[in-house]
C-alpha cells in the first residue's frame, strides 16, 4: 500500500501532505486492520476537479462525492482543516479525525449494515491509539 500511495503522489505531482489516506487505508497504516479493498484518498479541490475532467464524479446521498481515479483508488476532496499525521512517509488523517469519520459512517442510514460491527471495532481501537498520545509524526503545513 505504501508503494501504491507513493506512486499516486508522483503521478499526481502533488506534495505528499496534500494526498491524504482516509477510511480503511488509514486504518491499515495505523495497524487497526490488516487490509483494505481500496484507497480512499483526499486531494486538494483543484486536483479533484482536474481528475473529474476525465472521470465521472460519483455522488451518493449521505456520502462525499468521489472520483474513481483508478481501479481501487477513489479520490475525495481534502479538508485542510482536519488533523493529519505521517506514518512511514504516508499522510493519513489523525486517529481523532478517523474516529469522527467512523462515527459519522455508523450514523449514516445508507451504510452497509454488514460493515457496522467492523466500524465499531475500529472506533474502539482508534480510541486506544488516541489515548496513547501522539506516536505519529504530525506537521503543520
Cell 472520483 maps to which residue?
A: 67
CA atoms within 13 A on the CB side of 30: 32
Rg from Cα positions in the chain: 15
pLDDT of the residue at 141:
43
Domains and CATH numbers, the chain: 2-131 (3.30.460)
pLDDT of the residue at 64:
87
CB atoms inside a 10 Å sphere around CB 133: 7
Task: Give pLDDT tens digits for 47-68.
Answer: 999 999 999 889 988 788 999 9
Q: What is the mean pLDDT of each run of 10 residues along the chain (141 residues)?
A: 95 96 94 93 96 90 89 94 93 94 91 92 92 62 43
Task: Give pLDDT tens digits for 10-27.
Answer: 999 999 999 999 999 999
- CA–CA separation, 31 vs 27, rounded Å? 6
pTM of the model: 0.88
Amino acid at each position: 500500500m505504501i508503494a501504491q500511495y507513493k506512486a499516486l503522489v508522483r503521478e499526481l505531482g502533488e506534495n505528499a501532505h496534500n494526498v491524504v489516506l482516509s477510511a480503511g487505508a488509514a486504518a491499515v497504516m495505523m495497524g487497526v486492520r490488516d487490509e483494505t479493498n481500496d484507497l480512499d484518498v483526499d486531494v486538494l479541490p483543484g486536483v479533484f476537479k482536474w481528475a473529474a475532467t476525465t472521470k465521472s464524479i460519483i455522488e451518493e446521498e449521505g456520502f462525499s462525492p468521489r472520483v474513481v481515479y483508478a481501479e481501487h483508488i477513489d479520490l475525495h476532496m481534502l479538508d485542510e482543516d482536519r488533523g493529519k499525521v505521517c506514518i512511514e512517509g504516508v499522510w493519513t488523517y489523525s486517529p481523532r479525525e478517523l474516529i469522527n469519520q467512523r462515527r459519522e459512517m455508523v450514523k449514516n442510514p445508507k451504510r452497509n449494515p454488514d460493515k457496522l460491527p467492523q466500524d465499531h471495532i475500529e472506533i474502539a481501537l482508534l480510541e486506544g491509539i488516541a489515548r496513547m498520545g501522539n506516536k505519529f509524526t504530525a506537521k503543520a503545513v
